[in-house]
Amino acid sequence: MDFRFTPEEEAFRQELRSWLRENVPPNWEGVFLEEEVEEWKQGLAFVRKLAEKGWVAPAWPKEYGGMEASPALQLAYNEEMGYQRAPIGSIVQSVGYIGPAILFFGTEEQKRQHLPPVTAGETVWCQGYSEPEAGSDLASLKTRAVKDGDDYVINGDKTWTSNAHRSDWCILLARTDPAAPKHKGISFFLVDMKSPGITVQPVMNMANVHSFNQVFFEDVRVPKSALLGQENQGWYIAAMTLDFERSSLVAMAVSMAKRALDDLVGYCRETRVKGKSLLASPLVRHKLAEMAIEIEVGKYMVYRVVSLQARMEPGSIEAAVCKLYNTELDVRVANTGLEILGLYGQLHKDSKWTQLMGRFQKSYMYAIAMVVGGGSSEIQRNIIAMRGLGLPRG
Ligand SMILES: Cc1cc2nc3c(=O)[nH]c(=O)nc-3n(C[C@H](O)[C@H](O)[C@H](O)COP(=O)(O)OP(=O)(O)OC[C@H]3O[C@@H](n4cnc5c(N)ncnc54)[C@H](O)[C@@H]3O)c2cc1C
């Protein structure tokens, strides 16, 4: 296997890298998504600049604002965006898996309506899958969509909906045939968040930041044209978007981990304890080396998924392996940072004693969320065991 990028891909990487160095807001402290109000505004402004370059969704067709980039070019893009900590939380869902679902299953009208506003940095989407009684077992969702003339009428509630309070549109899974086996009676809708009958209530996360929401749908009327794909085909579309979500989530996570490690190595090089550099401590060196090796392993797992995508081969098992390993790796990197930084590592970015802009404190709180979001580690292990290894259902 040849891991080298082509000269064109390398040239694009260099151009993007220089641009990011100039355009990621100075002193940007983001580590995961931009969740605080000020961060979010900076992120939106950044995405508009990215849109001016035509760089929001490289892999999409040119007619919808993409670059028709190869999977390898998209990989180089993801690596740079992750390493430079580009503030693109407002588009990770729409570019990573919502847009691809519309590209695969949408009508031409749906593609023209929804994709160009994403590549112009004008619309934000959220994902209405999970419900209070349906998370890992998503197919038991209860939200109903009932046909009424040319419309569907939606009732139910969704939870953990990231960014619903800032979104223009929502992808929504709702039951359209309650008599069918549970996987077969679900449909996939594209819902305007301004529709009458939608109420968004904040749910604070463990960092005490408003990122999640509970979203209530009360007699929300959507036109038939809001249906993506066929009625009752929603489960299959959702399963595909989850594969995309898993691979798009981790592609940047590995290079973000690499950046965190590089920052940590820099900190250890400059910090002296009892007259000696922290890098002189065998314990610290071993920890850093262990992380460097694990990050390298994670990187090649991502390359494997990308090479399968490039050959149009199925890769849902590999995407599950990659999601499981790399999101847990982010937790190990955050833990390593906190161990090395000691008590300084626990300080919030606003403390005058904080180190490395409080990033490790923040990533310690957020990394664990990534292990759960997009399907928890246990669910990835079940997928690998049953579909990958052919083991019986536990
Ligand atoms: C940061 C973050 C962002 C999110 N954003 C969104 C969003 O935008 N939209 C959305 O719809 N959802 C979102 N979610 C919800 C996420 O998809 C669910 O949290 C996840 O699917 C798990 O569901 P649950 O929380 O109901 O936990 P449960 O399904 O109740 O699981 C609880 C525990 O039991 C384990 N478990 C459950 N079933 C099994 C099994 N069969 N075998 C072994 N172990 C099992 C799980 O691994 C977990 O540890 C987000 C979650 C997080 C953390």
Going from N- to C-terminal start, the domains of the chain cover 7-123, 126-232, 236-388
Please work out whether the CB of residue 161 comes within 6 Å of at least one atom of ligand 1: yes
270 is catalytic: no
- On the question of a common fold for 7-123 and 236-388, the answer reads no
Architecture of domain 126-232: Beta Barrel (2.40)
CA atoms 230, 193, 33, 330: torsion sign: negative
CATH code assigned to 236-388: 1.20.140.10
Q: Is the CB of 135 under 6 A from ligand 1?
A: yes
> What mean pLDDT is reported for the chain?
93
List the single range of 33-42, 114-123, 274-283, 379-388 with lowest mean pLDDT: 33-42
Distance of CA 103 to the CA centre of its chain: 18
Task: Decide yes or no: CATH 3.30.420.40 for domain 7-123.
Answer: no
Confidence of residue 323 (pLDDT cuts 50, 70, 90): very high
Q: What is the pTM of this model?
A: 0.94
Say what the pLDDT of residue 33 is: 65
Q: Can you tell me the distance from the alpha carbon of 242 to that of 366, in angstroms, rounded to the nearest whole number?
A: 20
- Answer with the residue of higher pLDDT: 339 or 71: 339
| Nearest C-alpha neighbor of 64 from the set 24, 104, 6, 23 | 104
DSSP 270-293: H-EETTEEGGG-HHHHHHHHHHHH
Q: Which amino acid is at 25?
A: P
Kindly report which listed range (35-49, 169-183, 332-346) carries the lowest average pLDDT score.
35-49
**Which CA distances in Å does 277 have to 323, 333, 344?**
35, 21, 17
Rounded Cα gap, residues 363 and 131, in angstroms: 26
Q: Which of these is catalytic: 35, 80, 245, 328?
A: 245
Tens of pLDDT, residue by residue over 12-36, are: 999 999 999 999 987 777 656 667 7
**Tell me: the pLDDT tens digits for 267-306?**
999 999 999 999 999 999 999 999 999 999 999 999 998 8
What spacing in Å lies between the alpha carbon of 136 and ligand 1's midpoint? Answer: 5
Cα(first)–Cα(last) distance of the chain, in Å?
36
Distance 77 CA to ligand 1 centre (A): 29
Atom of ligand 1 nearest to the CA of 138: 21
Contacting residues for 310 by C-beta, under 8 A, at least 6 apart:
70, 71, 72
DSSP summary character for residue 28? -
